A = this chain, B = another copy of it.
Amino acid sequence: MPAVCVIGLGLIGGSVLRAAAAAGWQAYGATASTADADAARGAGHDVAADVDEALRRAASDDALLVIAVPLTALDSVLRQIARFAPHCGLTDVISVKGPVAASITTRLPEARYVGGHPMAGSSTSGWAGGSAELFRDAPWLLVTEDDTDRAHWLRTARLALACGAEVVAASAREHDAAVARISHLPHVLAAVLASVGSGGGGLAMSLAAGSFSDGTRVAGSRPALVQAMCEGNRDELLAAIDDALGRLGVARGSLATTGSLAATINHGNLSRMRWTESKTLPTGEFRLQFLDPDAPAELRAIGEAGGRIHTIRGDVLHGTLPRRD
């Protein structure tokens, strides 16, 4: 029975603990939050007295360590791991991958580490908001570099699949650039739109309806979490904001000089339609022998094409890939 030790039992970590336990893993964890620890114990889960104790146990079990704390708490947890469980294989569920890899290289240069990012969430936070079903059919990104430790990657991928997710492969940089565009920029634009709207005063707020409501929805998320997520991906988010500034500036210039927004509106519409259609594209199956030398590069190409792994048998990955007929 494979062992997994989850550090941090908030929304994501708490859901990993529940899902792994339900899938038959020997799953235990710890958290600095007394409230989350009490709630997890109350639900019958195996929660250590403190993080140090959980790490000592993980070292003796050779458990897979899952770091599920906010980015701001990462360095402090890495110091504890260096002290109590320096040889455990590591993964994490933090929403940015480059900065986490950099911290681990600094603090635990010998560690076997595969970065992860389950793309699932909820408007709530803490243990209480989690569920064993949170990851069902969601993409769970695993960082897949050419020099990734293959055995450790496979163990981490098995955990993601055991939690009900499908695995998507990308490099850390590819991941961070992608989420800057489709997750972090949307939060920044929602905040900007909410502020421009409220700048219109009571009449604007009274007339605001569907398009304003949709466009500002994520501005209702907890500001501290949004800030940490966006600021942690600073370089890639700056590039995404620059792209948005450039496109918005072009729209402004075109409207001011020619009176037309055709290029902006048509390109946006085409992009949105392609995205919604991509969700219903027919899929084909692929299989990949993960120990082949070129497998990481092939797997990243599959991830870029929208492919996902749903099963692992031995060293062979099985998944689906959109089929463009």
Instruction: Name A's B-contacting residues (CB within 8 A).
Output: 119, 121, 138-139, 141, 168, 170, 174-175, 177-179, 181-183, 185-212, 214-221, 223, 226-227, 230-231, 234, 237-238, 240-245, 247-249, 251-252, 255-256, 259-262, 264-269, 271-276, 278, 303-306, 308
Contact = CB atoms under 8 A, between A and B. Distances in A.
B231 A214 contact: no
This chain's copy number in the assembly: 2
Given A179-B207, A198-B274, 10 more contacts: A168-B207, A182-B197, A186-B214, A188-B248, A190-B211, A190-B214, A192-B268, A195-B267, A217-B272, A227-B262
28 contacts: A138-B209, A139-B207, A168-B206, A175-B207, A181-B200, A182-B197, A182-B207, A182-B211, A185-B193, A185-B196, A188-B251, A188-B264, A190-B214, A191-B251, A194-B271, A195-B264, A196-B240, A196-B243, A196-B244, A196-B247, A206-B303, A215-B218, A223-B262, A226-B269, A227-B261, A230-B261, A234-B259, A248-B248
A33 to B, nearest CB: 23
Contacts of A259: 231, 234
Contacts of A255: 230-231, 234, 237-238, 241
Contact of A215 (B138, B214, B237, B252): B214
Contacts of A275: 194, 197-198, 205, 208, 212, 216
B198 A271 contact: yes
* 4 smallest beta-carbon distances between A and B, as pairs: A191-B268, A198-B271, A186-B211, A194-B271
Given A193-B185, A244-B192, A248-B248, A220 B119 contact: no
A199 B141 CA distance: 19
A221 to B, nearest CB: 8
Contacts of A210: 121, 218
A305 to B, nearest CB: 5
B219 A268 contact: yes
A265 B230 CA distance: 10
Nearest to A225: B265
A187 to B, nearest CB: 6
